[in-house]
Amino acid sequence: MKAAGLFSVRMRAASGTRHLSGAERIVPFGLVSAVLGQFFERAWSKDLTPDEIVLTVEPLGDTAIQERDALPFLDVPADGEAECRKLASIALQGAGVSLAAAEEAFQALEHGPSPEGSAMRGAMIMDSRTGERMEPDRARGIRVSRFDWSDEASRRITDELNRLGLTHFRTREALALATKVAHAPGIVAELCWSDDPDYTAGYVASPGFGYVRLPLLKQQGKTGGGRAFFIDNRSFALDAFTAYLTLQPVVITKAGRCSRTTDMTIALF
Ligand code: COA
Ligand code: AMP
């Protein structure tokens, strides 16, 4: 697919130095102004009124767009934080992350991965064998951008997730982000839980088995959280990884299988 006539539309809202919300789409010219309106409403609907909303419209010109199938989605309704983290660790190790690296990531997300012990503005990059941090800036990290669902895939994934009772827009957006990440050169796996104190669910994703949602990777009310991208250091080039994740437009044109299981290991391995 060529990007001619397509636009990257992005929104970020902040209160002082605090980031409140962000969203993005890839749409044709005719939808740009409607999406800007939706983003404005989304930015304004948060509990805190932003004092800055930045809306960006960027023509994608001749850039070739990558089309991808969504990762298969598996919901694992496990009980309690300890059980969810244990399952996340098993999934990460099944994807090729060492126990030491998985534990390094849990510690970082638990205590705040930035040098100040707070959330980062993007994701950590971690060596999947040693757990060594590889992102050049530990407060900023790396931020995935320029991805979206096609209309058809968006309808289908929304229906599928609704069928599982997962109606929060975050699930669909996180699945899109994880799908883009799963195609990054050198990626092994991803771990995420939100820094939003009201959102306790998180996920592990890998190119091999897809996206695994776990309902309680942290306790309600806690602000810690973040993302870790685990990479294979033998086939990793920071420039190519960063250029792909930040600049390469990716549209997900096919929704994947969505299912639920109480036995994650049987479903995955
Ligand atoms: N947390 C904290 N600060 C953020 C931020 C975040 N998630 N996203 C943006 N900012 C702030 C930072 O100060 C950033 O400066 P920096 O590059 O020095 O960190 C500044 O805004 C500009 O960010 P930039 O990414 O250049 O802005 P943008 O307008 O091009 O895109 C987003 C903003 C939020 C749309 C994009 O960064 C993003 O995260 N896209 C994915 C959105 C999504 O679908 N998320 C769902 C995941 S579950
Ligand atoms: P969220 O799921 O939006 O609550 O984000 C959880 C964490 O993921 C944040 O604390 C950031 O560290 C990181 N993050 C947010 N947006 C991005 C992004 N676009 N790309 C990579 N990491 C992100």
Identify the weakest region by mean pLDDT among 3-17, 68-82, 83-97: 3-17
Instruction: Quote the pLDDT of residue 11.
Output: 98
pLDDT above 80 (res 47): no
Query: Which of helix, strand or coil describes residue 262?
Result: coil
- Ligand 2 centroid to Cα of residue 172, in Å, is 14
Q: What is the pLDDT of residues 143-164, one digit of tens each?
A: 999 999 999 999 999 999 999 9
pLDDT, mean of residues 63-74:
97
Q: How far apart are CA 48 and CA 246, in angstroms?
A: 28
Crossing angle for the helix pair 99-111 and 81-95, nearest 10 degrees?
140
Q: Which of 201, 200, 197 is nearest to 222 (CA)?
A: 197
**CA 148, 97, 196, 134: dihedral to nearest 10 degrees?**
-80
Instruction: Quote the pLDDT of residue 2.
Output: 65
* Residues 6+ positions from 27 with CB-CB distance below 8 Å: 6, 7, 9, 35, 148
Tell me the pLDDT of the chain averaged across its residues. 96
Residue nearest to atom 18 of ligand 2 (CA): 143
pLDDT, mean of residues 186-205:
96
Instruction: Quote the pLDDT of residue 49.
Output: 86
Instruction: Enter the tokens of residue 107.
Output: 């510690």
Segment holding 242, helix H or strand E:
helix 238-247
pLDDT, mean of residues 12-27:
95
Number of Cα atoms under 13 Å in the Cβ half of residue 170: 15
Q: Which atom of ligand 2 is nearest to the CA of 245?
A: 20
Ligand 1 pocket mutation pick from 7, 11, 12, 191 by most atoms within 8 angstroms of CB: 12
Segment holding 240, helix H or strand E:
helix 238-247
pLDDT above 80 (res 221): yes
Ligand at minimal distance from the CA of 55 is: 1
Q: Which of 38, 74, 46 is nearest to 199 (CA)?
A: 46
Instruction: Quote the pLDDT of residue 174.
Output: 98
- Ligand 1 centroid to Cα of residue 83, in Å, is 31
pLDDT over 70, % of the chain? 98
pLDDT above 80 (res 48): no
**pLDDT grade for 181, boundaries at 50, 70 and 90:** very high
- Write out residues with Cβ below 6 Å of ligand 2: 119-120, 122-123, 143-144, 192, 194-196, 225-227
If 0-12 CB within 10 Å is exposed, 13-18 middle and 19+ buried, where does residue 233 land? Answer: middle
Q: How many residues does the chain have?
A: 269
- Ligand 2 centroid to Cα of residue 244, in Å, is 17
Q: What is the DSSP string of 99-165?
A: HHHHHHHHHHHHH-SSTTSS--SSBEEEETTT--B--S-TTT-B---SEEE-HHHHHHHHHHHHHTT
Backbone angles phi, psi at 170, to 5 degrees: -60, -35
pLDDT over 90, % of the chain? 94
Q: Is the dihedral of CA 132, 136, 138, 144 positive or negative?
A: negative
Instruction: Quote the pLDDT of residue 257.
Output: 94
pTM, rounded to two decimals: 0.97
Ligand 1 pocket mutation pick from 121, 193, 213 by most atoms within 8 angstroms of CB: 121
Ligand 2 pocket mutation pick from 110, 195, 222 by most atoms within 8 angstroms of CB: 195
Could you tell me if 227 and 181 are in contact, meaning their C-beta atoms sit under 8 angstroms apart?
Answer: no
Instruction: Quote the pLDDT of residue 79.
Output: 94
- Ligand 1 centroid to Cα of residue 261, in Å, is 33
**pLDDT grade for 45, boundaries at 50, 70 and 90:** confident
Ligand at minimal distance from the CA of 26 is: 1
pLDDT above 80 (res 4): no
Q: Which of 232, 224, 240, 228 is nearest to 204 (CA)?
A: 228
pLDDT above 70 (res 103): yes
Instruction: Quote the pLDDT of residue 3.
Output: 66
Residue nearest to atom 42 of ligand 1 (CA): 23
